[in-house]
Amino acid sequence: MKKDKITIWDVAKLANVSIMTVSRVISKKGKVKESTRIKIQDAIKELHYQPNVAARSLSGSVSYFLGLIYDNPNEAYLNQVLMGALHKCNDYGYNLIISSFESDTDGNYKIDKALIDRAKVDGIIIPPPLCDSLEILSTLTEANIPIVRIAPQTMLDYSPFVCMDDRAAAYEITEYLINQGHKKIGFIVGHPDHGASKLRFDGMKEALTDNGLALNEDYVQQGYFSYKSGSNCAETLLGLEDRPTAIFASNDDMAAAAISTAHKYGLSVPGDISVVGFDDVPLASAIWPKLTTIQQPIMAMAEKAAEFLMYPDPEKEKDNILDYKLIIRDSVAPLARTY
Amino acid sequence: MKKDKITIWDVAKLANVSIMTVSRVISKKGKVKESTRIKIQDAIKELHYQPNVAARSLSGSVSYFLGLIYDNPNEAYLNQVLMGALHKCNDYGYNLIISSFESDTDGNYKIDKALIDRAKVDGIIIPPPLCDSLEILSTLTEANIPIVRIAPQTMLDYSPFVCMDDRAAAYEITEYLINQGHKKIGFIVGHPDHGASKLRFDGMKEALTDNGLALNEDYVQQGYFSYKSGSNCAETLLGLEDRPTAIFASNDDMAAAAISTAHKYGLSVPGDISVVGFDDVPLASAIWPKLTTIQQPIMAMAEKAAEFLMYPDPEKEKDNILDYKLIIRDSVAPLARTY
DNA sequence: TGTTATAGTGTTAACGTTAACATTTTTAAT
DNA sequence: ATTAAAAATGTTAACGTTAACACTATAACA
């Protein structure tokens, strides 16, 4: 009694056309008279027909699969990328295949071509830090697979990408701190392998300079984007004789660590010390006080990346710098003036 | 100069057998003499041959795709499920297709059969809360798609599933609190739609009873697993004339909220009040003080679920209750005795 | 009016694999 | 040595779609 799988043939029969015409309608290629298109679309609806990906993929030049590869970045970051890509894929009838590319101890990536060959993906989305690995990029290019990178820092001419202006964002949040009266600003640098770390540091330094402030080397600590590294850096910063009145951590995890370290020292945040982060991951609003931070449009970047791959268009690809947003919450207080 | 796609034919020619024999080797079905198997496997390696999923899927009865559907559960939870499923899929040459099933305002799920029809998945992994929706389960069953549920709370006979013993875990962590001298224990209930909420509450009550303690209705607050709801409940609990000395929140997000609320009240944790959570999401160790909580084997559950789907085996499926772990960190202090 | 371009449609052969059945080879049993 | 059974391998036709080309109507022009 159960209906068998519905194929393009069933649709063709019902609409009284050939399967090729149906194919033209579903893949939006070639010309079909408006009236027949409607007839066919009605038939598709009536039968609840869904084209079979495997067949389309096998036969045609499009696989309807997009790949997303990742190394172990921040979990929340990955999640955002994932959700963004997923949404867009679902919208356009694509599927997303996710695969981890783990680096060996030397930081080299063993390229597992499985993803590539197995599913014949139409393109691959590459978030950081993978997007800055020449090894990966060249392998993919050789295999002739289109890629779109998310927030790459190097080799910007290598491929289409989407990003935000890290430098400008760091500049803005630093200036915000300065406007609140802070002059002694500690900075926790991000992971040296992530190009964004340098940009954020640059933006911060520039804001300092433009406001007539000098950079105090003691106030700069090298972190690695991890909570742990943030703790260590904050430990050093807060242990300083003449400690900063504000700390700018290059991501939220490290900022959260800084807050927690301050608490441990009996310092109130933002009463005794202000802290700002970067990224606006869920953690940022799950801690107390809630973090003032920069909201990265991570999901939007992933959506755009997916779009670029599904509908390549050199024109659109120039519109690839998305807006960040300064999110003011509770972790910064104006500096009480001291004479 | 570039080599064309390598197919089963190339392997067959190199190994000097028919394509069918090669097929038998790659899909591990049917009998092949050991010596020929080796010959073929060598050829596969030499050519870097990767079977084409689309073709296998189209031709055969196996699609090499597993589905994972989700409603918007806790982000960290989903991430764990995802990683677990992903790992196992990659290990066995499967691909994972992820799709969100959003409920409408009435809490009903509009079943989008796209996932099912489009990719012909071999099975679907269903985490909570979807795994307790009869609507979803019956649709999938009708469509004849194998499913494995993660931590379902109802209709346990409906399908294979993996879970942990929520009741026992809640019992154990409550008893831990009691052993630290706490008698006045506040409890923040989880979302009423998640069956786990009731189990955790039951475990808590049972521990109370077994230790000769009575349940104080004022100490029980209804939360919804969200940070916000945790804040509200903690607000009520801490505002009580005779406030509890410990709070057991049904998940980490709410526990984090409770800690943050305590801080806002000028209460030290765990000095003035102890807090425990449930789940051990990353947040649990990213806040200060670090949360004492129950570690759910979420990733392991997802891995097991994927395995069940890829290699169904009624025997193995009986071994489906995974171990939790009480993680003792810094958010609980023994109760100072007061006479 | 015929010619020519073009919009619209159809036919057939791939795509790379597995299912189902067919055949050959090996082993075991008399 | 003969036969039956089992093991190993091969042949062929799907699977559902699109590419490439072939064809037929319609429109546009001289």
What is the percent of chain B with per-residue pLDDT over 90, rounded to a whole number? 58
How far CA B93 is from CA of A43, A169, B52, B69, B306, in Å, comes to 37, 42, 11, 20, 12
Question: Is residue B104 within 8 Å of residue B135, measured between CB atoms?
Answer: no
Task: Please tell me the distance from the alpha carbon of residue A81 to that of residue A76, in angstroms, as a whole number.
Answer: 9
Mean pLDDT, chain A, as a whole number? 88
Q: Which two tokens stand for residue A265?
A: 């020292």
Stretch A290-301: mean pLDDT: 94
**Residues B221, B198 share a domain:** yes
**Residues B125, B29 share a domain:** no
**Residues B172, B154 share a domain:** no
* Smallest CA–C1' distance to C18, residue: B60
CA B287 and chain centroid, separation:
22
Residue A181 pLDDT class (50, 70, 90 cuts): very high
**Residues B292, B245 share a domain:** yes
Look at residue A108 in the predicted model and tell me its pLDDT.
Answer: 62
Residue A33 CA, nucleotide C8 C1', distance (Å): 7
Q: Which domain holds residue B310?
A: 65-163+298-322
Task: Please tell me the distance from the alpha carbon of residue A172 to that of residue B211, in angstroms, as a whole number.
Answer: 57
Residue A196 has pLDDT above 60, yes or no: yes
**Residues A304, A277 share a domain:** no
Chain B residues near residue A259 by CB distance under 8 angstroms:
288
Look at residue A159 in the predicted model and tell me its pLDDT.
Answer: 92
C-alpha atoms less than 13 angstroms from C-alpha of B86 in its C-beta half-sphere: 18
Residue A198 has pLDDT above 60, yes or no: yes
**Helix/strand/coil (H/E/C) assignment for every residue in chain A:** CCCCCCCHHHHHHHHCCCHHHHHHHHHCCCCCCHHHHHHHHHHHHHHCCCCCHHHHHHHCCCCCEEEEEECCCCHHHHHHHHHHHHHHHHHCCCEEEEEECCECCCCCECCCCHHHHHHCCCEEEECCCHHHCHHHHHHHHHCCCCEEEECCCCCCCCCCEEEECHHHHHHHHHHHHHHCCCCCEEEEECCCCCHHHHHHHHHHHHHHHHCCCCCCHHHEEECCCCHHHHHHHHHHHHHCCCCCCEEEECCHHHHHHHHHHHHHCCCCCCCCCEEECCECCHHHHHCCCCCEEEECCHHHHHHHHHHHHHCCCCCHHHCCEECCEEECCCCCCCCCCCC
Residue B2 has pLDDT above 50, yes or no: no
- In-domain check, residue A327: no
Look at residue B112 in the predicted model and tell me its pLDDT.
Answer: 58
Residue A33 CA, nucleotide D25 C1', distance (Å): 12
- Best mutation target among A6, A57, A98 (most B Cβ atoms within 10 Å) is A98
- In-domain check, residue B307: yes
CB contact under 8 A, B100 and A90: yes
Inter-helix orientation angle B252-264/B227-239, to 10° = 50
Residue A145 has pLDDT above 70, yes or no: yes
Inter-helix orientation angle B75-91/A75-91, to 10° = 80
Stretch A312-332: mean pLDDT: 90
- In-domain check, residue B59: no
Chain A residues near residue B82 by CB distance under 8 angstroms:
82, 98
Is any atom of strand D within 7 angstroms of residue B143's beta carbon?
no
Look at residue A105 in the predicted model and tell me its pLDDT.
Answer: 59
**Residues A149, A119 share a domain:** yes
Stretch A264-291: mean pLDDT: 90
Is any atom of strand D within 7 angstroms of residue A53's beta carbon?
no
Residue B4 has pLDDT above 70, yes or no: no
Question: Is residue A99 within 8 Å of residue A67, measured between CB atoms?
Answer: yes
- Best mutation target among A122, A288, A330 (most B Cβ atoms within 10 Å) is A288
> Which residue of chain A comes nearest to B90, CA vs CA?
A99
The more confidently predicted of residues B311 and B304 is B304
What are A56-90's pLDDT values in tens digits?
A: 999 988 888 898 988 866 677 888 898 899 888 88
Look at residue B73 in the predicted model and tell me its pLDDT.
Answer: 64
**Nucleotides of chain C within 7 Å of a protein C-beta?**
7-20
> Which residue of chain B comes nearest to A55, CA vs CA?
B58
- In-domain check, residue A87: yes
**Residues B275, B128 share a domain:** no
**Residues A72, A35 share a domain:** no
Question: Is residue A47 within 8 Å of residue A11, measured between CB atoms?
Answer: yes
How far CA B193 is from CA of A174, B35, B158, in Å, comes to 44, 57, 18
**Residues B287, B177 share a domain:** yes
- In-domain check, residue A3: no
Nearest Cα neighbor of B52 from B18, B95, B82 is B95
Question: Is residue A10 within 8 Å of residue A49, measured between CB atoms?
Answer: yes
CATH code at position B25: 1.10.260.40
- In-domain check, residue B1: no
Footprint of strand C on the protein (CB under 7 A): A 17-21, 24, 30-34, 36, 55, 58-59; B 5, 7-9, 19-20, 22-23, 26-27, 29, 49, 51-52, 55-56, 58-62
Residue B71 has pLDDT above 70, yes or no: yes
**Residues A127, A274 share a domain:** no
CB contact under 8 A, A256 and B51: no
Total number of domains in chain A: 3
Residue B99 has pLDDT above 90, yes or no: no
Pairing state of beta strands A161-164 and A147-150? parallel
**Residues B224, B244 share a domain:** yes
- In-domain check, residue B128: yes
Look at residue B281 in the predicted model and tell me its pLDDT.
Answer: 85
A84–chain B nearest CA distance, Å? 12
C-alpha atoms less than 13 angstroms from C-alpha of B246 in its C-beta half-sphere: 26
Residue A31 CA, nucleotide C1 C1', distance (Å): 30
Residue A2 CA, nucleotide C21 C1', distance (Å): 28
Task: Please tell me the distance from the alpha carbon of residue A304 to that of residue A306, in angstroms, as a whole number.
Answer: 5
CATH code at position B268: 3.40.50.2300
Task: Please tell me the distance from the alpha carbon of residue A262 to that of residue B2, in angstroms, as a whole number.
Answer: 59
Task: Please tell me the distance from the alpha carbon of residue B276 to that of residue B225, in angstroms, as a whole number.
Answer: 14
Peptide linkage before A270 cis (omega within 30 of 0)? yes
CB contact under 8 A, A75 and B76: yes
Look at residue A118 in the predicted model and tell me its pLDDT.
Answer: 58
What are B134-193's pLDDT values in tens digits?
A: 888 988 888 788 999 999 988 888 999 999 999 999 999 999 999 999 999 999 999 998
**Residues A113, A211 share a domain:** no
Q: Say which amino acid occupies A48.
A: H
Q: Which nucleotide is closest, CA of B35 to its C1'? A: D8
Q: Which residues make beta-bridge pairs with B109?
A: B103
> Which residue of chain A comes nearest to B69, CA vs CA?
A86
- In-domain check, residue A339: no
